[in-house]
Amino acid sequence: MGQATGKILVVDDDPAICIVVGEALRRQGHKVKTAASIRERTALMSDFAPDVLITDVMLPDGDGLEGVADLIAQDPAMNVIILSAQNTLNTAVRATEKGAFEYLPKPFDLNELTRAVADAITIRQQSDGDEERDSLGASNDGMPLVGRSPAMQEVYRTIARVISNDLSILVLGESGTGKELVAQAIHGLGRRRAKPFVAINMAAIPRELIEAELFGYERGAFTGAHTRTAGKFEQAEGGTLFLDEIGDMPMEAQTRLLRVLQSGEVTTVGGSTPVKVNVRIIAATNQQLPALIAENRFREDLYYRLNVVPISLPALRERGEDVALLARHFLDIAANEGLPRKTLADDAAGLLGGYHWPGNVRELQNLMQRMAVLSRENVITGEIVRQNLSLDSIAGAHASASADNLAASMREWLRSQLGVGQTPRETLHDDMLAIVEPVLLRETLRSVDGNQIRAASLLGINRNTLRKKLTDYGLNPANIRQGE
């Protein structure tokens, strides 16, 4: 059966985008019209009812998102794909709130766009036209997450897709990457935002007290229990409970937590009457839970209960283009909190971008606060950064050593191909890629336990590109795991 085709309206004030996207979609058999403004969009839609509307956000005569909800209300089966160079969580969330089918940050992958169109057409043709689309109201401009790197775009898109439901979320990432900020964003943008957000850190509570903290306790349940005290589940009633460092939860508490998740009821320590609770669970960890399961330190059934939607936060060293943006953001926060207002020089931004940030975003924030207080200058220069961060001794040591080894190996291979008596081939570039790229793909996948989304983010390529390369090289992600 051939690919489904339909009518597409592309709205973008960049003629090149209209031409390229239009031609790509026409080659797939779609009927395509283009517009450069909201006014042109309105005029065209009066006699051209598209199956899919592709629109930019920033248009010459206004916000491309404005009016989208009304258009969907008029034709509930029409799917909208949003394109935007404003690659922030706010844009992703607004697109979702307006009822968009997909949000793609610019620069976008043309293959991903054409695939999204194909999916939208299929859904359009299967739809009976009476799907309910839920609007969450006004968007929140005070987003807690900052960054425009491809890895963060993936995080934003996932957040935008889960704020309208109550699925359990498992946030993964190294310490200091902002896992609690993700939980706060999901809660603050979701339908439970008017109710409490309660956080508990498993690693910060004595093991013998975790059950009492989570589930509450009755008077006399243990020494010092003078009154009945509600646990975190009851405190978060109607809202969100954030279980940080879930990998440090004792096995006994895991068993009780699983029971609560299955029954929706909490029994206090020392109590016998269950209490109904209604909370959304967001858990987080910097540990490899599958490894803990293999060591009998984490329940597999609890893992699957929590890991309904995983969100993997990249380490700061994997999103170098975000470092300067974050640094200036933290300087603004420091100034708003009463610290001296400072600006960041370009040479300082370059040095910060080259550092490997073992403490991730938290380390960067602490550094910016320190320099805001201690620096006597209004502008933080590269020299000031060097004085506060041992860039020469730390930043390049490991990278330069490994880079030198790789360069030496490549030079040796090239000498063998171009040496005396050798007939130079005209496929050196492809030959080198065929040697290096499979290793790069395999080791990157292994480092993230076979997770293709994380691997694509680390490599800075589209997921479809990664899948194609894996197929071309005969690599099976299912067989690539850490340590294999």
Long-range contacts of 424-431 (CB under 8 A, 24+ apart): none
In whole angstroms, give the CA distance from residue 313 to residue 428: 37
pLDDT at 393: 39
Write the DSSP string, 460-480.
TS-HHHHHHHHHHTT--GGG-
Cα separation, 345 vs 380, in Å, equals 6
DSSP state of 37: S
Question: Distance between CA 428 and CA 421 in Å, rounded?
Answer: 16
Amino acid of residue 372: A
> If we measure between CA atoms, which residue out of 21, 32, 85, 90 comes closest to residue 56?
85
Do 347 and 381 meet the contact criterion of CB atoms below 8 Å apart? Answer: yes
Identify the H or E element spanning 68.
helix 68-74
Instruction: Quote the CA–CA distance of 360 and 174 in Å, as a whole number.
Output: 8
Please check whether residue 106 is in contact with residue 87, taking contact to mean a CB–CB distance below 8 angstroms.
yes
Please name the helix (run of DSSP H) or strand (run of DSSP E) that holds residue 285, with its range, or none: strand 280-285
Task: Write down the residue that tokens 């939607």 correspond to.
Answer: 309
| Amino acid identity at 436 | V
Q: Is 54 helix (H, G, I), strand (E, B) or coil?
A: strand
In terms of C-beta density within 10 A (0-12 exposed, 13-18 middle, 19 or more buried), how is residue 483 classed?
A: exposed
Per-residue pLDDT of the chain (484 residues; tens, 9 = 90+): 456 788 999 999 888 888 888 888 998 899 999 999 989 988 898 888 899 999 888 888 888 787 777 788 788 778 889 888 776 777 777 777 667 788 888 878 888 888 888 888 877 765 533 333 333 222 333 456 888 788 887 888 888 888 888 999 999 999 999 999 999 989 988 889 899 999 999 988 888 889 899 998 888 888 778 888 888 999 999 999 999 999 999 999 999 999 999 999 999 888 888 999 999 999 999 999 999 999 999 999 999 999 999 999 999 988 888 899 899 989 988 888 888 899 999 888 888 988 888 889 999 999 999 999 888 889 999 889 988 876 443 444 344 445 555 666 666 667 666 654 555 566 777 777 877 888 888 888 877 777 787 788 788 888 778 888 888 777 877 666 544 4
CA neighbor of 183 nearest in space, from 264, 232, 139, 239 = 239
| Nearest residue to 333 via CA among 94, 151, 103, 143 | 143
β-pair type (102-105, 79-84) = parallel
Of 247, 147, 237, nearest to 197 by C-alpha is: 237
Between the two ends of the chain, the Cα-to-Cα distance in Å is 40
Q: Which helix (H) or strand (E) holds 384?
A: helix 382-388
- The region that residue 421 occupies, defined by phi over 0 for left and psi between -120 and 50 for alpha, beta otherwise, is left
Please tell me the predicted confidence (pLDDT) of residue 183: 94
Inter-residue contact 98 to 65 (CB < 8 Å): yes
Q: What is the Cα–Cα distance from 310 to 417, expressed in whole angstroms?
A: 46
Tell me the whole-structure pTM to 2 decimals.
Answer: 0.59
What's the pLDDT score for residue 449?
73
Q: DSSP string spanning 137-190?
A: -SPPS--S----SHHHHHHHHHHHHHTTS---EEEE--TTS-HHHHHHHHHHHS
pLDDT for res 135: 31
Q: Which domains does the chain have, with CATH numbers?
A: 7-126 (3.40.50.2300), 165-312 (3.40.50.300), 316-395 (1.10.8.60), 426-479 (1.10.10.60)
Q: Strand pairing of 309-312 and 343-344? A: unpaired
Is the distance from CB of 240 to CB of 280 less than 8 angstroms?
yes
Q: Find all residues with CB under 8 Å of 330, minimum gap 6, and list them.
A: 364, 365, 368, 369
Contact residues for 461 (Cβ-Cβ < 8 A; gap 6+): 469
Residues in Cβ contact with 272 at an 8 Å cutoff, skipping those fewer than 6 apart:
none
Reading the block at residue 433, the tokens are 């890629």
User: Closest by alpha carbon to 54, among 77, 79, 73, 29?
Assistant: 79
Q: Which of 65, 144, 142 is nearest to 97 (CA)?
A: 65
Please name the helix (run of DSSP H) or strand (run of DSSP E) that holds residue 417, with its range, or none. helix 397-418
Q: How many residues does the chain have?
A: 484
CA–CA distance, 50 with 7 (Å, rounded to integer): 5
Q: Are 109 and 465 in contact (CB under 8 A)?
A: yes
Contact 144, 291 (CB under 8 A): no
Q: 189 pairs with which residues across the strands?
A: none
What was the pLDDT predicted at 299? 95
